[in-house]
Amino acid sequence: MTTRRFNEAEVAAIFKEATEAQHAGRHQLPSGEGMTLAELQEIGREVGIAPESIVQAARLIDQSERPTVRTFLRLPLGVERTVDLDRRLSEAEWERLVVDLRETFDARGTVGHEGTLRSWTNGNLHALLEPTATGHRVRFRTVKGDARGLMVGGLAVLAAGAVGLIMAAVRGTGADAGLLSALGVLATMGAAMFGVGALRLPSWARLRQRQMEEVAGRLTLSCDSEPPAKS
């Protein structure tokens, strides 16, 4: 092997494998252990990421909870996210957040005030600014209400059709073609209603999760990069 000459593709593959093996051996974590911020910054320097960017990303992870998903029949029906800030938002910062919400969700929404509480609402989509012991907390939440109505209604209609078919079989009226046809149509309508409500939920939930993550990320970075202003 010492005298073999490798072509360009083989050279690239060799260096790729060697680099991955070197990084894996250098940065492999012992079972049950994590990494400190300094260790993360050191790895970032090796791959060309500024230490400040690592700090900002770590702070975003620390302050933001992952979106939680409310489910119905194991389907994502609602999405929530909470961001705890280390300081209070000024009125100007809240207004900029409202602008970001309107642009991200493509909706004007309605702004509400109740004492020190602030809110932005568009249908079932809410952004709430609430005071905490250390500053402010922003909670994003939304529910796909129409989908739940369709699914519940569809299940009810489907169940009615199924019960009708069972009763027809028990009573010996299965030969009534008109009755069977009507019950079959009823069951089909119920299944269709459920399907319409259920099929669009996964993509809707993924979109809302991504949008909430984007808004939360911009808000956290803005609070870190700007000094607190007077409300």
Nearest 5 degrees, angle CA 164-CA 166-CA 169? 110
Amino acid identity of residue 126, one-letter, is H
Please check the confidence at residue 94 and state whether its pLDDT lies above 90.
Answer: yes
Predicted confidence (pLDDT) at residue 200 exceeds the cutoff of 70: yes
Assign 41 a pLDDT band (cuts: 50, 70, 90). Answer: confident
Give the neighbor-by-neighbor strand order of the sheet with 117-122.
Answer: 68-72, 75-84, 136-143, 125-131, 117-122, 110-114
Least confident of 15-24, 81-90, 172-181, 219-228: 15-24
The more confident residue out of 26 and 103 is 103
Mean pLDDT of 161-166: 86
User: Percent of the chain scored above 90 by pLDDT?
Assistant: 47
Is 15 a residue whose pLDDT tops 90? no
Q: Which whole-number Å values give the CA distances from 228 to 93, 170, 171, 222, 224, in the listed order?
A: 9, 73, 75, 10, 9
Each residue's pLDDT tens digit, 109-142: 999 999 889 999 999 999 999 999 989 999 999 9
- Is residue 90 over pLDDT 90? yes
Compute the distance between CA of residue 109 and CA of residue 125 in angstroms, rounded to an integer.
9
Which DSSP state fits 64? B
Structure confidence by residue, pLDDT tens digits, 56-85: 666 656 555 566 888 988 999 999 999 998
